[in-house]
Structure 1
């Protein structure tokens, strides 16, 4: 297996963009929802507006140029081609930081925080808070390779990411993540590879115990209520992708409007948007993210991560013992699955930072980049 790291230049053929335009023009729309809100899923008028923008005003080349300007690379790890951004700070002693996205996110989740994190001085910050950033695309996502056999679960991804940081020559580094990125980062924390200084999480995939539920404070009960609402109202995508990812994959591969609706639903349901998604996310930013699923045709391959994880969980979930590696946690109120400080302290032996924010949701780095940056700096500062 080659350990060579190759620069990657993104140049989508015009024919692919023309095909997309043709498909968008031929969209067959469903009937409108029979309710006045989004309780049945994305509303027809909002998706029509998104597709109209996608056809008539959106410019993919702007996103492509931005990604190429950041610095993209490929390397083979464990038989799979891994795509990643590697953005080095001008500060030579910056802390290396591995950042992992989730679904339906991408490396673009971090676009608004890359500049301030790598070059804080240029953004009004302190040189001592600088990071070198490594931002990989999960297997089967974006421009990473698509697994052709089973086994690429969170544990295997964690091992691949540890190898990536080693291959890049980083001897001491930290890791950050939310959603699947949080699961991968947590797994890396439990593995405690040599050189890992600590982790930062903005989502934790832990379930409170029966005793914790029974003894929940009013504040903790509100968290339990949100988690229950997520399970009952918003988790349909999770259950489909965890059990029959290939079934939905055909539609995601064939229909850009269908893919857009599937992804838009999560931006709608788990962000802190007060029912107005487009006031939190620029429409072009949502479309950029959708394009990182449409162009490489990763609707099905990304969905299979849910299936892979469910298979792996049959053999056990996260370790029961508290994590020994230093951990910083930021809980954003729009995140549907949250833990209290009391619950977190039982799971992390060295909880160096815990904060509950007053705004922001699941896509924290996109929704509240300034708060996200401050949390990350504060949480990891004492680990430098």
Structure 2
């Protein structure tokens, strides 16, 4: 079946600018297969092999735009005090224009088996890597914003082939890692927008109806944690368990009259977060289209908007490159730039403010749940609060790491995922 998604019409068509390229230009035709439960072959015509091949004209246009960047001034004060630091952004833009090699990272992504499939009325792009072990458990990994499937390029081999990294082959997973609807190569102009509930429904369709996995595991952080939690709530009969590194807890849960020291610390941190760190949520959740114009047109603006989050939310001690290299940061940004998907990626925030919470009031997620508690995660509720909503079976306090755990601390996260699901296979 042909995928109708197209990535056209992003850049302004005047003045010799480059249009977004139809997704078919990135797609390689060929045999179409997926895998059944526990890796059993399941012949289907529902998936199409996919290869990334960004046209050179898109890359040339990018470099020209970077060369013409008009930078703002910066108020007096400490670097990063008011957002992305001017000096660092100048350095990053110069590197992006003159030294960054997209083709190297494009080839790295193409080292994974990639497919597209029609799911819930759109074309969904996903990585699909078979496990190397006696009975790999299917596992769907969900990223968030401002991330992408690039976040998983280190952790996927650790999950599919644990023996290669000193682990037990019996802990292997067959990994499915989709680009969220409206993100990366799961975006096409004019397509339906998806909130968390709709994405979870799409993932259930992808895993069972398209790929034939009748029982599977799920893991995620950021919006991926919300999606994974929603899967556990809505499809418990299909889930072996869920593993998250961000908990989907409402911010307005009833507060105890006499909070414990742990609860008081959490409430203080939550108050600071809401006051100082949620401005991006309000603009993305209320006027996403207004923001989309500038970030779709300016690669420097796009990088500034995204990279600041990688610095603020990671365990980098204020130096973002302690946690992520320039190449890692820019490859993630590129998956928004070459697809023109930044505006559509805001939609889960809009849905968050204009639709019901994905976990219904009073609903408890009964599937076995694990939480990986990284010290620099943006919100870290106490276990007592998490247990109001989740059937917590494992709670691991990590020694280091932050919000983008799969990219920042892949070994710690992979080991915790393998340990949790060991007895749930």
TM range (shorter): over 0.9
> Secondary structure of the equivalent of 1:86?
strand
C-alpha distance in 2 between matches for 1:62 and 1:147:
27
Which deviates more, 183-192 or 28-37? 28-37
Instruction: Confirm or deny that 1:353 pairs with 2:353.
Output: no
2:339 is aligned to 296
1:165 is aligned to 207
Instruction: Confirm or deny that 1:377 pairs with 2:407.
Output: no
Query: Matches of residues 1-384 of structure 1 in structure 2 within 5 Å?
Result: 4-146=46-188, 148=190, 152-166=194-208, 167-207=210-250, 211-313=254-356, 318-348=360-390, 350-384=391-425
Q: Deviations over 1:109-128 (max 9, x none)?
A: 11111111110111111111
C-alpha distance in 2 between matches for 1:147 and 1:231:
32
Shift of 1:90: 2.1
Decide whether the 8 Å contact of 2:181 with 2:193 is kept in 1: no
> Secondary structure of the equivalent of 1:324?
strand
Shift in alpha-carbon separation, 1:169–1:42, aligned structure 2, 3 A: same
Please list every run of 5 or more consecutive structure 1 residues that lacks an aligned counterpart in the other structure.
Answer: none
C-alpha distance in 2 between matches for 1:311 and 1:346:
24
Q: Could you tell me the TM-score, scaled by structure 1's length? A: 0.95
Shift of 1:233: 1.4
Shift in alpha-carbon separation, 1:11–1:257, aligned structure 2, 3 A: same
> Secondary structure of the equivalent of 1:200?
strand
- CA RMSD across the alignment: 1.8
Shift of 1:193: 4.6
Shift of 1:192: 2.2
> Secondary structure of the equivalent of 1:89?
coil
Decide whether the 8 Å contact of 1:223 with 1:336 is kept in 2: no
C-alpha distance in 2 between matches for 1:296 and 1:318:
34
> Secondary structure of the equivalent of 1:90?
coil
C-alpha distance in 2 between matches for 1:201 and 1:316:
15
> Secondary structure of the equivalent of 2:346?
helix
Matched residues, number: 382
Q: Specify which structure has the higher proportion of helix.
A: 1
Shift in alpha-carbon separation, 1:208–1:381, aligned structure 2, 3 A: farther
Shift of 1:310: 1.8
Q: Could you tell me the TM-score, scaled by structure 2's length? A: 0.86
Shift of 1:220: 2.5
Shift of 1:356: 2.0
Shift in alpha-carbon separation, 1:303–1:337, aligned structure 2, 3 A: same
C-alpha distance in 2 between matches for 1:299 and 1:279:
26
> Secondary structure of the equivalent of 1:20?
helix
Shift of 1:149: 5.8
Shift of 1:150: 5.4
> Secondary structure of the equivalent of 1:266?
helix
Which deviates more, 210-219 or 222-231? 210-219
C-alpha distance in 1 between matches for 2:219 and 2:334:
24
